[in-house]
A = this chain, B = another copy of it.
Amino acid sequence: MDKVELLARLKPEIALVDQTMQSDLENLASKGFIPSNLVEVLEHALFNGGKRIRPLLCILTAELCGNSSKTIYSLAIAFEYLHVATLLHDDVIDHADIRRGRPAANTIFGLAPTILAGDFLHARSMYLVGTLGGKRSLELICSATEAMVAGEFLQIANTRNFNQAEKDYFAVINGKTALFIGAVCETGGIFAGAGNREIEALKIYGANLGKAFQIRDDLLDYLGDHAKTGKSVGNDFREGKMTLPLIHALKTAGKTERNFLLDLLKGDKSRRSAEFENAKHIIAKNSGFEYGRQLAEKLIAAGIAGLHIFTAEHNEQLIATLTGLAGYVIHRDK
């Protein structure tokens, strides 16, 4: 399924997700549960051209398991809410000025409304999961949210550890991204009443997609086009952040190149900034980027392979869509 076909397939679903979020806010506002200044922050944060990958995964995986209930949309938006809650808090933490090409909530509404709106979406998300997804889904999503925070702390703890192994990197991205996306896909299956074997396959598909997504993000940080990603290139290296390409290059490089990289990492930011192109060259030479690319491909392939237990003919189109989504994740340039 090419990108045009994929978008055509997903566009109506995305529109329904957006409508469901809009109705949810309108419903809360009309009952007087949320004042208009809160609605304003929530609308800014939610309706900004987000790709809606998490709700889409929930909807598609439920459909793959035979779901035909429209309630899935109300459950699915819980995952966009949770995602946007973390983005709002990230904006505060990173002192971000820009989010998806627009001023970050933080810069428009200030500190208190940004943090609090994140807390609101967090609670609303748990409410929807608990009431519509049931106890098992709530457990999964709460645990994944706890793991997200734990992943951030692990990353902080690893900050100046230049001897990181690949497994340290994966421990962080599992917590920060993969467990949550895996849990979203599991929840789709649970909602549709799927069996454990099916739910397990969805979990692996989602978790692998999450890992590949993060690897792609880390590759784009070195190789992306600022005009497309909207992020400054080389940020991770400048901050001394240990991501997969760098970890792999440090492992495979010869002594001279390894020491060059280590010296930069131990030194100060301005030198890393000045030497970014040289560092990038060394990482490329030692297959850091190629290794990341291949690993992402492998993860996606394994995730998709697992979906072949859903053999029914009417599932072909759905599996093609999930394959297309996964392909998008590892080939995206923004």
Q: Contact: A150 with B38, CB < 8 Å? A: yes
In the bound complex, residues from chain B placing their C-beta under 8 Å from that of A146 are 28, 33-34, 120, 123-124, 127
Nearest-Cβ distance from residue A242 to partner chain B, whole angstroms: 16
Q: Is A69 engaged at the interface, CB distance under 8 Å to the other chain?
A: no
**Measured CA separation A130–B116 after assembly (Å):** 22
What is the total number of copies of this protein in its complex? 2
Contacts A34-B150, A92-B111, A149-B119 given; does A127 touch B142 at CB 8 Å: yes
A104-119 contact mask (Cβ, 8 Å, vs B): 1 or 0: 0000000111011111
Q: Contact: B131 with A139, CB < 8 Å? A: yes
Q: Name the residue of chain B whose CB is nearest to the CB of A39.
A: B153
Q: Which of B142, B143, B153 contacts A38 (CB 8 A)?
A: B153
Q: Within A50-107, which residues are at the interface with B (CB < 8 Å)? A: 85-86, 89, 92-93
In the bound complex, residues from chain B placing their C-beta under 8 Å from that of A111 are 92-93
Q: Contact: A130 with B153, CB < 8 Å? A: no
In this complex, the member of A34, A143, A149, A150 whose beta carbon has the largest number of chain B beta carbons within 10 angstroms is: A149
Q: Contact: B93 with A153, CB < 8 Å? A: no
Q: Contact: A127 with B139, CB < 8 Å? A: yes
Q: Contact: B153 with A35, CB < 8 Å? A: yes
Query: Interface size class for chain A?
Result: 35 or more
Q: Contact: B130 with A135, CB < 8 Å? A: yes
Q: Which of B38, B89, B135, B147 contacts A149 (CB 8 A)?
A: B38
In the bound complex, residues from chain B placing their C-beta under 8 Å from that of A117 are 149
Q: Is A154 engaged at the interface, CB distance under 8 Å to the other chain?
A: yes
Q: Contact: B145 with A112, CB < 8 Å? A: no
Q: Which of B37, B122, B127 contacts A138 (CB 8 A)?
A: B127
Q: Name the residue of chain B whose CB is nearest to the CB of A34.
A: B150
Nearest-Cβ distance from residue A194 to partner chain B, whole angstroms: 21
Contacts A37-B157, A115-B93 given; does A120 touch B149 at CB 8 Å: yes
Q: Is A152 engaged at the interface, CB distance under 8 Å to the other chain?
A: yes
Contacts A112-B93, A150-B38 given; does A142 touch B119 at CB 8 Å: no
**Measured CA separation A124–B135 after assembly (Å):** 14
Q: Is A156 engaged at the interface, CB distance under 8 Å to the other chain?
A: yes
A180-223 contact mask (Cβ, 8 Å, vs B): 1 or 0: 00000000000000000000000000000000000000000000
Binding site for B on A (CB under 8 A): 28, 33-38, 85-86, 89, 92-93, 111-113, 115-120, 122-124, 126-127, 130-131, 135, 138-139, 142-143, 145-150, 152-154, 156-157
Extra inter-chain contacts (17) besides given A28-B146, A113-B153, A135-B135, CB under 8 Å? A33-B147, A35-B157, A85-B119, A86-B119, A89-B116, A93-B111, A116-B152, A118-B119, A122-B122, A123-B126, A123-B146, A124-B142, A124-B146, A126-B130, A126-B138, A130-B142, A131-B139
A-B contacts, 23 listed (Cβ < 8 Å):
A33-B146, A34-B146, A34-B153, A35-B157, A38-B150, A89-B119, A93-B115, A112-B156, A113-B153, A118-B119, A123-B126, A123-B142, A123-B149, A124-B142, A127-B138, A127-B139, A127-B143, A130-B130, A130-B135, A130-B138, A130-B139, A131-B138, A131-B139
Q: Which 8 A-B pairs have the closest CB atoms?
A: A127-B142, A123-B145, A38-B153, A120-B149, A126-B126, A130-B138, A93-B112, A116-B149
